[in-house]
Amino acid sequence: MSSQFWKPGTEKPRLLEDEEGGVVFFSPSLASSSSGYGHASIEKQRQRLPVYKYRTSILYLVETHATTIIVGETGSGKTTQIPQYLKEAGWADGGRVIACTQPRRLAVQAVASRVAEEMGVKVGEEVGYTIRFEDVTNKVRYLSFEALEFYLIYLCIVIMVDEAHERSISTDILLGLLKKIQRRRPELRLIISSATIEGKSMSAFFQARKSRHQMEGEELPRMEPAILSVEGRGFNVQIHYVEEPVSDYVQAVVSTVMLIHDQEPPGDILVFLTGQDDIDTAVQLLTEEARTNRKNSSGLIILPLYSGLPRAEQELVFSPTPRGKRKVVISTNIAETSLTLEGVVYVVDSGFSKQRFYNPVSDIESLVVAPISKASARQRAGRAGRVRPGKCYRLYTEEYFVNEMSAEGIPEMQRSNLVSCVIQLKALGIDNILGFDWPASPPPEAMIRALEVLYSLGVLDDDAKLTSPTGFQVAEIPLDPMISKMILSSSELGCAEEILTIAAMLSIQSIWVSSRGAQKELDEAKLRFAAAEGDHVTFLNVYKGFLQSGKSSRWCHKNFINYQSMKKVIEIREQLRRIAQRIGIVLKSCESDTQVVRKAVTAGFFANACRLEASSQSGLYKTVRGSQEVYIHPSSVLFRVNPKWVVYHSLVSTDRQYMRNVISIDPSWLLEAAPHFYQQQRLNPIVH
């Protein structure tokens, strides 16, 4: 395979934005809201879905089995219908809650609003949802996905772990945890649902349990899992491969879409790309192409679909295509299984998605554009056969598909940094992490790395137990432990107000509007706020400016700042402030003393310290711990400034490893922040 094929042409470094999920809840009817399962048309639609035929079987299996595994084609009605069936059958009566977990944020919102519509209620009434930093339920005030387990354990009677094939860390933790909880709460019912899951291996996981003593007369469900396959009614999909590997898949997408539009009968097109960057580029190129190509001057509606998308734009994607038009939706792999788009007849599959990879030796985690698995490729193709026979255009060769594409993806647990995962488990009182019953065991090196970092952060003690108060406080904050530690340190350093702003800013993809075609203007705008200390202090300047403008959208527009992002920052900051208050952080401002701010950042992020190579003109840095080669990302205000010592917030990799959000530090702070981490031999290069 030519290596050219695998080098994405136009990819720029950027973080994956859709890595987090949430939960949809179904609670009992409120006294007066007699929910009108009103419109007959919606009722009819519901009855036409493939799962409807299985309604009775599903209810029977859930009643009689502790765990039910349901496999059914995407679009068959698993997510939206099964919880409703359970609710209609009375499972949510008596104050109990039915929960359905989703590994993707956008899907949580879309599912909750679709189901609320079907039930004739408002989101937040009988159907609610929680995702990090947003809570639309009437029952819970604030809940992160990380803290959800508590809620799930005590209130839920049925928990549906949806999209279980995605095997995100959260899904794996949840599966392990639920298996454990089930032993103590035998009345709890689990549903594991997916479009592509291997029913047998999931069943084996839930089967391997200790036997339970059953009291006489006690009516308990059977412990061995039931497996149900929902027969879909997918149509045949014709697969087309490229003859030669393509070198630039964004360009290939554009020409393939235009070819379909020119030569094929009506029907919408769904394109799978990897992330916001290449999606936006493809949308722009296609829009231009459609405009200049006279034969096709009208008729194409080109829409992006990814997680950061505003609600109004999401709705466009779901709305029916007007007569005589052809919709082209360009999506991340969220449309692979989580969301169903009606009317799709053609699929264009780039063969890539954004995936997280972690190297425990270098301790570097990066999001990279990587080839998908055969399972994903089949699933993507299947999206073309929903309404009638369809076609799938794979932008890779048949030979590659057959001989080189891996059969299944690797669980995220086995390719991630496990710091957050370990702390979640510790906070749940699970001390023997290595002995935890994982659906897939994490690599021991990654586990040891995570324990080492948490120990250095002062979160775990010598016995690997949470420290008090630091460990418990860090576990209370629904953020990366490094950010939490930075917040805790800011309390002592007297700069919590500033650090909360920075923490909120770091939770956002980007506060700048994307620069397409206006790079110079964007750079100039950035200069107005740029601080010599680095990006974190620059954030403080932007935040101050935004407040002084009276939170004006015009001000944002003028300064190339994303107004929606800034509103989100204000919201997140407010939530963090409440948590900080609750755990006893002293909320003080350091006014303009940026040194304490940088010290607080260092206290959290000392593990990400890097030093400029003395001989390097090209801005080459090496990480202090692993001597990995890294560079400052072009979006940073320190790009080309290259201070001698920096810490970074995250890395992204394309051709190189780039540090995103960088701040300059004094190396002596590293010793202060983490004496045991930077042991003597590592310090030597620091001291001279």
Among 13, 77, 411, 534, binds ligand ADP (CB under 6 A): 77
Strands 189-194 and 156-161: parallel
Q: Where are the extended beta strands (E) located within 60-96?
A: 67-72
Stretch that binds Mg ion, among 7-15, 73-81, 415-423, 443-451 (CB under 5 A): 73-81
Stretch that binds ligand ADP, among 72-80, 285-293, 324-332, 532-540 (CB under 6 A): 72-80
Q: How many CB atoms lie within 10 A of CB 218?
A: 9
- Could you tell me the smallest distance in angstroms from the CB atom of residue 315 to ligand ADP? 9
Stretch that binds ligand ADP, among 73-81, 412-420, 573-581, 622-630 (CB under 6 A): 73-81
331 burial via Cβ count (<10 Å: 0-12, 13-18, 19+): buried
Q: 383-405 b/e with 16+ CB inside 10 Å = b?
A: bbbbeeebbbbbbbbeebbeeeb
- Residue 330 interface partner, choices Mg ion, ligand ADP, none, CB cut-off 5-8 Å depending on type: none
State the Cα–Cα distance between residues 616 and 613, nearest whole angstrom: 5
State the Cα–Cα distance between residues 311 and 318, nearest whole angstrom: 11
Site string for ligand ADP, 271-310 (x = CB under 6 A): ----------------------------------------
Number of continuous H segments (helices) and E segments (strands) in the chain:
26, 21
Q: Is 79 in the site for ligand ADP (CB under 6 A)?
A: yes
- Could you tell me the smallest distance in angstroms from the CB atom of residue 392 to ligand ADP? 18
Sheet architecture: strand order including 134-136: 134-136, 127-131, 22-26, 97-102, 156-161, 189-194, 67-72, 226-230
Closest Cα partner for 367 from 136, 653, 81?
Answer: 653
Q: Is 366 in the site for Mg ion (CB under 5 A)?
A: no
State the Cα–Cα distance between residues 327 and 322, nearest whole angstrom: 9
Q: Is 49 in the site for ligand ADP (CB under 6 A)?
A: yes
Q: Is 79 in the site for Mg ion (CB under 5 A)?
A: yes
- Could you tell me the smallest distance in angstroms from the CB atom of residue 155 to ligand ADP? 23
- Could you say which residues in the range 270-329 bind Mg ion, by CB under 5 A? none
Closest Cα partner for 485 from 448, 457, 515, 452?
Answer: 457
Determine what percent of the chain falls in helix, strand and coil, rounding each to the nearest 5.
40, 20, 40
Among 8, 13, 21, 75, binds ligand ADP (CB under 6 A): 75
- Could you tell me the smallest distance in angstroms from the CB atom of residue 195 to ligand ADP? 6
- Residue 318 interface partner, choices Mg ion, ligand ADP, none, CB cut-off 5-8 Å depending on type: ligand ADP
- Could you tell me the smallest distance in angstroms from the CB atom of residue 439 to Mg ion? 20
Site string for ligand ADP, 332-351 (x = CB under 6 A): --------x-x---------
3-state secondary structure 339-367: CCCCCEEEEEECCEEEEEEEECCCCEEEE
Closest Cα partner for 349 from 332, 325, 367?
Answer: 332
Stretch that binds Mg ion, among 51-59, 75-83, 116-124, 497-505 (CB under 5 A): 75-83
Largest distance between two CA atoms of the chain:
79
Stretch that binds ligand ADP, among 76-84, 92-100, 219-227, 242-250 (CB under 6 A): 76-84
Report which residue's Cβ sits closest to Mg ion. Answer: 79
- Residue 84 interface partner, choices ligand ADP, Mg ion, none, CB cut-off 5-8 Å depending on type: none
Choose between 315 and 591: whose C-beta lies nearer to ligand ADP: 315
C-alpha dihedral (668, 674, 677, 681), degrees to nearest 10: 30
Strands 657-664 and 645-653: antiparallel
SS3 state of residue 646: strand
Closest Cα partner for 190 from 146, 224, 230?
Answer: 224
Choose between 335 and 367: whose C-beta lies nearer to ligand ADP: 335
Q: Is 379 in the site for ligand ADP (CB under 6 A)?
A: no
Q: The tokens of 388 are what?
A: 């009638």
Stretch that binds ligand ADP, among 74-82, 420-428, 444-452, 668-676 (CB under 6 A): 74-82
Q: The tokens of 467 are what?
A: 């420290």
- Could you tell me the smallest distance in angstroms from the CB atom of residue 652 to Mg ion? 30
Instruction: Kindly calculate the radius of gyration of the chain based on its CA atoms and give it in whole angstroms.
Output: 26
Closest Cα partner for 347 from 391, 388, 306, 397?
Answer: 391
Q: Sign of the C-alpha dihedral, residues 655, 659, 665, 669?
A: negative
- Could you tell me the smallest distance in angstroms from the CB atom of residue 612 to ligand ADP? 50
Q: Is 76 in the site for ligand ADP (CB under 6 A)?
A: yes
For 143, phi then psi, to 5°, come to -155, 125
State the Cα–Cα distance between residues 481 and 463, nearest whole angstrom: 19
- Could you tell me the smallest distance in angstroms from the CB atom of residue 101 to Mg ion? 11
- Could you tell me the smallest distance in angstroms from the CB atom of residue 48 to ligand ADP? 9
- Could you tell me the smallest distance in angstroms from the CB atom of residue 342 to ligand ADP? 6
Closest Cα partner for 425 from 481, 486, 468, 500?
Answer: 481
SS3 state of residue 670: helix
Q: Is 660 in the site for ligand ADP (CB under 6 A)?
A: no
Q: How many CB atoms lie within 10 A of CB 675?
A: 12
Choose between 342 and 672: whose C-beta lies nearer to ligand ADP: 342
- Could you tell me the smallest distance in angstroms from the CB atom of residue 135 to ligand ADP? 21
State the Cα–Cα distance between residues 280 and 288, nearest whole angstrom: 12
Q: Is 102 in the site for Mg ion (CB under 5 A)?
A: no
Q: Where are the extended beta strands (E) located within 281-428?
A: 300-305, 326-331, 344-349, 352-359, 364-371, 390-394
Among 37, 318, 455, 639, binds ligand ADP (CB under 6 A): 318
- Residue 132 interface partner, choices Mg ion, ligand ADP, none, CB cut-off 5-8 Å depending on type: none
Among 55, 65, 78, 485, binds ligand ADP (CB under 6 A): 78
Stretch that binds Mg ion, among 72-80, 375-383, 477-485, 525-533 (CB under 5 A): 72-80
- Residue 534 interface partner, choices Mg ion, ligand ADP, none, CB cut-off 5-8 Å depending on type: none
Q: Is 171 in the site for Mg ion (CB under 5 A)?
A: no
- Residue 182 interface partner, choices Mg ion, ligand ADP, none, CB cut-off 5-8 Å depending on type: none
Choose between 75 and 442: whose C-beta lies nearer to ligand ADP: 75
- Residue 77 interface partner, choices ligand ADP, Mg ion, none, CB cut-off 5-8 Å depending on type: ligand ADP
Closest Cα partner for 59 from 175, 191, 182?
Answer: 191
Choose between 74 and 623: whose C-beta lies nearer to ligand ADP: 74
Closest Cα partner for 595 from 523, 645, 669, 512?
Answer: 669
Among 114, 132, 354, 485, binds ligand ADP (CB under 6 A): 114
- Residue 360 interface partner, choices Mg ion, ligand ADP, none, CB cut-off 5-8 Å depending on type: none
Stretch that binds Mg ion, among 76-84, 227-235, 355-363, 564-572 (CB under 5 A): 76-84
Choose between 318 and 563: whose C-beta lies nearer to ligand ADP: 318
Q: Is 72 in the site for ligand ADP (CB under 6 A)?
A: yes
- Could you tell me the smallest distance in angstroms from the CB atom of residue 156 to ligand ADP? 19
- Could you tell me the smallest distance in angstroms from the CB atom of residue 387 to ligand ADP? 10
Site residues (vs ligand ADP, CB under 6 A): 49, 72, 74-81, 110, 114, 318, 340, 342
Site residues (vs Mg ion, CB under 5 A): 78-79
